[in-house]
Every structure is written in C-alpha cells, then in structure tokens.
Amino acid sequence: MPNLLIVGGSGFLSGTLAKRAISRGYRVWAVTRGQRLLPEGVTGLIADRQDKAAFERAVSAAQVKWDLVVDCIAFGPEDIQQDIAVFDGLAGQLVFVSTDFVYDPKYRQFPQSEEIGHFIGAGYGYQKLLAETELANYAGDMLWTIVRPCHIYGPGSKLGCLPAHSRDADLIRRLQMGEPLRLVGGGYFLQQPILARDLADFILAIHGNPKSYRQVLNVAGPDVIESRAYYQIIADILGVNLTIEEIPVGQYLNENPSAGSFLCHRFYNLAKAESLGIALPGTTIVQGLREHVESLLAG
C-alpha cells in the first residue's frame, strides 16, 4: 500500500483527495492544525506550517517515508522551501497544487497553454508563481509535479465562480428568493471549472507516472462555459428563474484592482497532460454542479 501525506488535509480539496486516495488503497496522513475533523481513515499530524520547527517535528515523529506528498496549501516560496527541507529524503514525489492565476489576465492565450512568456507580477497568483519557481529550481532527488487548476468546485465548498457572487454562502437562498445576481461583466467571461473529485483523481494519476516528473500541467474540467451559464445551471437545478444585473468591468476593477484574474476568459489547453497518458477530467459541469447543489441542500 502506498503512503500519501497531504499538507492541509482537512480542507475542501485536500479532504476530497484523502477520501479518493483511501478508496484506492493508499495509507493517508495529513498535516493539519487540528481545528477540523479529518476524513475517516486519515492519520493527523498536528502542526501549523507557519511554525516551521513544529511542522518538521510532526513530520519526523511519524517515522514514515511517503511515496507521495501533495501540498494543497503552499502559498509562497517559503512554503516550498519548507517542503524541500522537510521532505527531501522522506518523499518519493511531491505534487504542488498551484493555480491558473499565475497567468497574466491581460496577456492570456485562448486556450491557455503552460508555456507562455506572460505571467502575473503581483498578488496571490504571483506568490504561487514564486513557489513554482522555487520548486523548478530544486536540484535534489525528490520528484515533483506542479498542477494549475482553474476554478475548483464540488461538495464541501461554497458555490460561485465570479464576483460579486464568488464562493457565496447565500447563493442558493438568493436564487430561491428571486434576488438578482450582480455579476461583473454580466457573467460573459468563459470558465472551465473542475470538480474537486476529478482534480483529486488527476493528482493520484500523476503519482508514479515518469512522464509527469518535473512538469507543469494545466488541469480543468471538460466544459468551457460562460460564467453566467454556471449560475443558470444552478438555477435550473433549483427550479427557479435567474436574473442578472451587470456590474461594469472597469468600475469593479477600479474598486478592486486585484480582481483581474477573475475577470478574463479562463480556459485551457490540456494537450500536455493528455500527451503524458493522464486521463483528463470528465465530469460534466451539469452533473458536477448537481452534486454540489444537492450536497448543500442536504446540509
């Protein structure tokens, strides 16, 4: 049985990954602050990664060599430096979950490939890019792969992919009450959301695939849709009407200059991953959103 360690194992994506891995016969550990319950079968290593000494002690005390480590919460270069310092010699392969926000929204390709000269220079995406660079410059024996997902959705998270209703805890109530949704640009930006379960399966498919070593891979779902269609699908599932009020893009960016990475077309060339023999995510946006909505309605 392979050993898997998830850094941040009690979160939305990480919890989904843990469950999928256990169902496939992995032994699973998770580094967590201990503030939320872990999925059944996961062994917790209690530490806050911001406390570097405690993080290293927790990992060392487990006395395990991991076949795969997945870092779901690394934010900047210091987090990847920590991964390298702690897991070099303890892990066979490291997968870093980055983001599509590394691409500069002003210079995107359609579809966007991994190899492009225009990357973002500030904010969340820039910190993720610096973390990627730290891993790419690592010259040790631990194998690594970087994945860049688009909008991740599914049971365990909040609904919403576009301001002003991104990860909106009240989205279902708003729609059921007939409230109009205020979407930047009217919701015409293209998206390619990925179901968390599909992303977890993609990550597990990377494990042990020699062609994936030292590669950066886009990953997204099978459907490219307008953002407004995402909300329309949710409304259809609920059996209610959808009304949209448009927020002008320029106005919103003037008030929220860091939101540019949301306000662009976000769809991707997945040929690189496919060429490595990795099965691409296949859950349709309609089926995935139905699972997501039903999970929230069930409480």
Cβ-based neighbours of 247, under 8 Å, separated by 6 or more: 163, 164, 182, 183, 184, 185
Domain that residue 141 falls in: 3-153+195-220
| Chain segment 249-272, per-residue pLDDT in tens | 999 999 999 999 999 999 999 999
In a domain, 147, yes or no: yes
Per DSSP, 37 falls in state P
At 114, which CATH number? 3.40.50.720
pLDDT (0 to 100) of residue 117: 75
pLDDT (0 to 100) of residue 42: 94
In a domain, 77, yes or no: yes
Give mean pLDDT, residues 174-202: 98
pLDDT (0 to 100) of residue 34: 75
In a domain, 23, yes or no: yes
Average pLDDT, the chain: 96
Nearest of 215, 214, 217, 196 to residue 281 by alpha carbon = 196
pLDDT (0 to 100) of residue 252: 97
In a domain, 245, yes or no: no
In a domain, 119, yes or no: yes
Give mean pLDDT, residues 16-41: 92
Cβ-based neighbours of 2, under 8 Å, separated by 6 or more: 25, 26, 27, 67, 68, 207
**What's the domain count of the chain?**
1
Give mean pLDDT, residues 223-245: 98
In a domain, 175, yes or no: no
In percent, the amount of the chain with pLDDT more than 90 equals: 94
In a domain, 21, yes or no: yes
pLDDT (0 to 100) of residue 39: 86
pLDDT (0 to 100) of residue 37: 82
In a domain, 232, yes or no: no
* pLDDT at residue 190 greater than cutoff 90: yes
pLDDT (0 to 100) of residue 269: 97
pLDDT (0 to 100) of residue 27: 97
